[in-house]
Amino acid sequence: MIKIENVTKTFGDFTAVDAVNLEIGKGEVFGFIGPNGAGKTTTIKMLATLSLPTEGTLSVGGFDIVRQPREVRRIIGYMPDSFGVYEDLLVWEYLDYFAALYQVEPSRRKGIINDVLELTDLTIKYNAQVMSLSRGMKQRLCLAKTLLHDPDVLLLDEPASGLDPHARIEIRELIRELCRMGKTILVSSHILTELADFCSSIGIIERGKMLAAGRIDEITAALSGNVVIEITVKGDPLAAIQVLEEREDITRATSDGRVVHAEFTGATDDVDQVLEYLINRGVRLTAFTPASADLEDIFLKITRGAVA
């Protein structure tokens, strides 16, 4: 659905995006991760047809963003990281304005406006002035505007930035709902926990370079190395450590109170053998959790040394 081939974008001497390649399939939710100034917004702006690449090609839904911008605009919904709203309009007028700009037929507009307001939980604000909305509500209003023409692809640039925790959760739930609706979503953030819950794949970008991209489980498997197993024991943790160290595939075992951390060098699928071994050797345990690396671990691992 989204294809980025060898794309470079420069501003004078500064290279904002450096030979980036990326492919996002239909219905996928792609998390674009990177620190501030990494090149996320520049890439998203190019996909949104707001900026032209210096080199390379970008296409959305098979349409080239340079040669067919209008076709691209028809199928994308773009929510920028920082945006303004027309403060002196009413909420329905704001949405009606964008519905008209997206050439939604006048007879269908009212119904669509009601639908997107319901989806974004703003129905109660139908006749409110935009300036009276809170920051979170304005963010949701912008998302509602993005959905007016029922786009197949959503480009969401830091959709929860600057929001309080409650509003952040609301936006996250909304994106989750859009995932269920089958939209292809590219969502950027520098807050990794925001993306971990609902992204099927991720791309990590830093200083304009795409350091890794693909399905989260594939990247995790490729990068996480040893699996750390968390074992909560009922008896003496030192006895459990002794049993664990008998195995060749356990390189290290330490305890923290009743919790034992063991580094397992075998395949992820073989972790159950350790559990079986412990039970057979009479170790009494209440929890056994193979902890795979989370997005934060992966990000730090990939960008180690490169992050200032």
Partner 1 sequence: MRFSNPILIKEMRSRMRGMRAFLVLTGYVTLLSIIVGLIYLVLSKNAPATLVNQAGIVLTPVLIYVQMGLICLIAPTFSASAVSFEREQQTFDLLIVSLAKPTTILFGKVGAALSYLLLTLFGSVPLISLTYSMGGVSMGDIAIAYLIMIVQGVTYCSFSFLWSTLIKRSVVSQLVSILTVIVLVAAMPALALFFTALSASFTGGPSSTFINVTFLLLRTNPFAAVASLIPGFPMPNNVWLRSVPIWLSQVVFYLLLMISSLYLSLRRLRNARNWV
Residues that bind partner 1 (CB under 8 A): 11, 45, 48-52, 69-70, 73-74, 76, 78, 80, 82-86, 88-89, 93, 97-98, 100-103, 106, 145, 149
DSSP string, the chain: -EEEEEEEEEETTEEEEEEEEEEE-TT-EEEEE--TTSSHHHHHHHHTTSS--SEEEEEETTEETTT-HHHHHHHEEEE-SS----TTSBHHHHHHHHHHHTT--HHHHHHHHHHHHHHTT-GGGTTSBGGGS-HHHHHHHHHHHHHTT--SEEEEESTTTT--HHHHHHHHHHHHHHHHTT-EEEEEES-HHHHHTT-SEEEEEETTEEEEEEEHHHHHHHHH-SEEEEEEESS-HHHHHHHHHTSTTEEEEEEETTEEEEEE-S-GGGHHHHHHHHHHTT--EEEEEEE---HHHHHHHHHTTT--
Q: How many CB atoms lie within 10 A of CB 299?
A: 23
Name the residue nearer to partner 1 (CB basis): 79 or 195: 79
Name the residue nearer to partner 1 (CB basis): 127 or 286: 127
CB of residue 189 to partner 1, shortest distance in Å: 19
Name the residue nearer to partner 1 (CB basis): 83 or 291: 83
CB of residue 11 to partner 1, shortest distance in Å: 7
Beta bridge partners of 90: 129
CB of residue 103 to partner 1, shortest distance in Å: 5
Name the residue nearer to partner 1 (CB basis): 102 or 288: 102
Beta bridge partners of 22: 4
Name the residue nearer to partner 1 (CB basis): 101 or 238: 101
Cα distance between residue 152 and residue 2, in whole Å: 11
CB of residue 192 to partner 1, shortest distance in Å: 26
CB of residue 131 to partner 1, shortest distance in Å: 12
Q: What length does the chain have? A: 308
CB of residue 54 to partner 1, shortest distance in Å: 12
CB of residue 44 to partner 1, shortest distance in Å: 11
Name the residue nearer to partner 1 (CB basis): 74 or 258: 74
- In the numeric block, which tokens belong to residue 201? 């794949």
Name the residue nearer to partner 1 (CB basis): 73 or 207: 73
Name the residue nearer to partner 1 (CB basis): 159 or 237: 159
CB of residue 99 to partner 1, shortest distance in Å: 8
